[in-house]
Amino acid sequence: MGVMCTKNPTETDGTAEVVSSSPLDPLEVYNMNKTRRGLALIFNQQSFVESKLCYRCGSDIDCSNLKKSLKHLGFEVKAFTDLSESKVHAKLDKAATADHSNADCFLVVFMSHGEKNYVNAFDKTITIQEIVDKFRGTNCKSLVGKPKIFIWQACRGDKHDDPVTPCATEPTEVVEAGAVYTLPAAADFIMCYSVAEGYYSYRDPLRGSWYIQDLCELLQTYGDSLEFTHLLTLVNAKVSKRDTKMDKNGKNFEAKQVPCFASMLTKKLYFHPKQFCCQFFQLSVGERPHRQTTSHTHHLQLSVRIPQNLHISNTADMSEESFTETDGLFTRKLITTNQQVTKDSPDVYNMTKVRSGRALIFNWMQFDLALQLNPRFGSDKDYKNLKKRREDFGFEVNIFKDLKKSDVNAKLDEAAKADYSNVDCLLVVYMSHGEKDYVETYDEKLMISDITDKFRGDECKSLAGKPKIFIWQACRGSEFDEPVDSETEHLVLEAGSINVFPAGADFIMCYAVAEGYYAHRDSKNGSWYIQDLCKQLKNCGDSLEFTELLTLVNNNVSKMEDREKKKQIPCFASMLTKNLYLQKKFQNSCTVICSNLFSCVHGFSPFLKNWERLQQDLRPESDCLKCH
């Protein structure tokens, strides 16, 4: 292990050792073939002891919609309303100590007011950290390696997100009070937020909150056919198209909302219908939908009688305290597809501009001695790898080394003012030391939100609606990740908390490690995260959807450990609103034209040869003589 400065946590030096020798499968998905889908807990807080916290009108609609949507996916749903802090803990503790061995996954929905890193129960506040920690690998062994989905419906600040392009208005909206901050999660966690940190979340007293409405609608339509992060991307898109008229200081203005999700999943996640539905009746409705099915679908409604004890665990009864609920009549929609999503579909980012985009790579190896920060040996390998990978995809790459804070801001301001009309996207890579919500420059700290805010849609108009990819290679705390043993494979334990910063629609934040933990860097070969990211970009960067590629990186890095068995889990926080592919570009338009002409000529060549032969056969004898 490398020497670490005691004043400020930095990256640690270490050589990665991959625990598993099994080949990495880009198509690997979570095992969702257990007997039960899993337990879903819904905490709906409408009333509160504190008078300053208003009654959450419309939240009961959210709860009802969620119960219906989650049952539709086969979850055993348990809903709780207006519980005290102690009762919330009791329900969560009971769920955490239950046996989830025969379940696919686990899901928690918490709908309430909140502020920063906590949410409100009926009488007291609860930190999000406390909730999530109960289901970590060390505390809930039967959920190790399984998806743990947390959905937070609450405000996360006191700002409004301004629209770049005005949309239709919803007449009756209520602004939720408070804020929720992203929190410590772990391997196989995905955190779904109704709004990015720092902004209001909106709720219709008659229809329920924007986020839950759209989430439920899309769960019912595509929940059993679409990969889950793809579905959340659709939710981002749908909610981001809403707006409302708000009154601020006597002036009307349009307010927007952009959800986000922070993922440390290490495989793809699908909620396909359970096989027993079709096994009972040996139904045949053609092939299952393609995993990327979106719009053009039609539904075949089947009502199937299921034995009432089908979902009963061998270790739990069906009482209320067991947190399970089954219906005697199980109704499921089977979806068949008429159209599949491709890279050219409207629900995919348009990546056909003249230029792939601009890539800004900021790399720090040395720091002002006054900061007492270790040199980042091996970081030169990272930026060289990144430069090559980005150039492979046609990016215009700009590299900056060891800049002062003022110089960094100058470069970012210059980039934010540039014209991106003919480019696909923007990429910013920042490799330095850091802690939670800031990163280091040569001489001072720089807030991550100060970086991302420069490229918001309202600040950089030509990037509105285009992917803005931020990759952060830096530590985010002072703890290490320990391994967790499993009966089936070597699995990793939790990795700290994720900070999602107010960035706006079409951002995706890629972190080398979850907040609260060290990032590892090999002094010879570069950091674990950047090494593997570059490897995956080379192998499948032009064919795999970008969030799928990041999930693959999560998987691979999570299998690495240093000589002291310390682990690392990357994460990404997405506010993308479409699928994202990074196809390779032809070098220039002339190459494209020549390639197209060559294809046409090549296609006609058999016809031309036959035509010449036919001319020879039909040519008059006198002409043949003249030829001699």
Q: 260 pairs with which residues across the strands?
A: 193
CA–chain centroid gap for 427, Å, is 17
Q: Is the Cα torsion angle 106, 110, 114, 119 positive or negative in sign?
A: negative
Q: Which of 63, 72, 105, 113 is catalytic?
A: 113
- Listed in sequence order, the residues at least 6 apart from 421 whose beta carbon sits closer than 8 Å to its beta carbon are 462
Q: How far is CA 202 from CA 58, 211, 556, 608, in A?
A: 11, 8, 38, 66
Q: 361 pairs with which residues across the strands?
A: 399, 429
The token duo for 25 is: 């499968």
In terms of DSSP H, where are the helices of 435-527?
448-452
Q: Which among 348, 315, 272 is positioned nearest to 579, based on CA atoms? A: 348
In terms of DSSP H, where are the helices of 204-263?
210-222, 228-240
Which helix (H) or strand (E) segment is 439 a member of?
strand 438-440
Active site residue 155: yes
Instruction: Name the DSSP letter for residue 370.
Output: G
Q: Which of 63, 140, 155, 260 is catalytic?
A: 155
The token duo for 148 is: 């743990």
Active site residue 534: no
- φ, ψ dihedrals at 306, nearest 5°: -115, 135
- Listed in sequence order, the residues at least 6 apart from 105 whose beta carbon sits closer than 8 Å to its beta carbon are 30, 32, 37, 38, 146, 147, 148, 149, 269
Q: Is the separation of the CB atoms in 292 and 230 below 8 Å?
A: yes
Q: Which among 483, 404, 390 is positioned nearest to 441, based on CA atoms? A: 404
- Determine the angle formed by the axes of helices 210-222 and 59-72, rounding to 10 degrees: 20
Q: Is the separation of the CB atoms in 140 and 134 below 8 Å?
A: yes
How many CB atoms sit inside 10 A of residue 485's CB? Answer: 11
- φ, ψ dihedrals at 150, nearest 5°: -120, 125
Instruction: Name the DSSP letter for residue 547.
Output: H
Q: How far is CA 626 from CA 21, 94, 615, 618, 622, in A?
A: 74, 100, 15, 15, 6
- Listed in sequence order, the residues at least 6 apart from 588 whose beta carbon sits closer than 8 Å to its beta carbon are none
Give the residue numbers annotated as catalytic, written as ranges: 113, 155
